[in-house]
């Protein structure tokens, strides 16, 4: 997949998340399986979000029952049991990382190990791949835990 296609997919997902945020909704289960796509006549990929079964209406960070799919769930959800729009942005960062690097950013067997990686490991972004430095920076920014 080209850098341009990846950026277009991420832009469409971001637009959908911004719309949800404006409506006061946190998806809470953003993962590849919940992203539908179709290819239009001109070859353009059209993205739609799916499965709002555990989506939550919330205008600000609030205490919630931890739900979501490991390894896309944000550390704020499983460590602090709070959920906000940043949880969906974390998931977007994981998905973006996977699209660019074709692997998950944190290798872990379970939630405990995942939490340790999220908080203690820095992302290693491969310089050799044909991607824009801006993408690397944006992915890193989405996968920050300092504010958690």
Q: Is 118 helix (H, G, I), strand (E, B) or coil?
A: helix
Specify whether the CB–CB gap between 6 and 96 falls below 8 A.
yes
Number of neighbouring beta carbons within 10 Å of residue 64: 19
Q: What's the rounded Cα separation, in Å, for the pair 99 and 101?
A: 6
Active site residue 63: no
Q: What's the rounded Cα separation, in Å, for the pair 87 and 89?
A: 5
Q: What's the rounded Cα separation, in Å, for the pair 141 and 134?
A: 11
Specify whether the CB–CB gap between 6 and 23 falls below 8 A.
no
Catalytic position from the list 15, 29, 63, 88 = 29
Residues with catalytic function: 29
């Amino acid at each position: 997949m080209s850098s341009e296609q990846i950026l277009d997919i991420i832009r469409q997902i971001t637009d959908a998340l911004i719309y949800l945020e404006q409506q006061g909704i946190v998806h809470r289960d953003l993962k590849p399986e919940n992203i539908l796509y179709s290819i239009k006549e001109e070859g353009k990929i059209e993205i739609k979000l799916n499965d709002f079964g555990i989506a939550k209406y919330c205008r600000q960070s609030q205490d919630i029952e931890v739900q979501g799919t490991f390894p896309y769930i944000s550390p704020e959800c499983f460590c602090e049991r709070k959920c906000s729009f940043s949880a969906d942005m974390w998931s977007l960062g994981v998905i973006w990382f996977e699209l660019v690097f074709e692997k998950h950013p944190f290798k872990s067997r379970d939630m405990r190990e995942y939490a340790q990686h999220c908080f203690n490991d820095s992302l290693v972004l491969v310089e050799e791949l044909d991607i824009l430095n801006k993408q690397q920076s944006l992915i890193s920014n989405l996968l920050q835990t300092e504010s958690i």
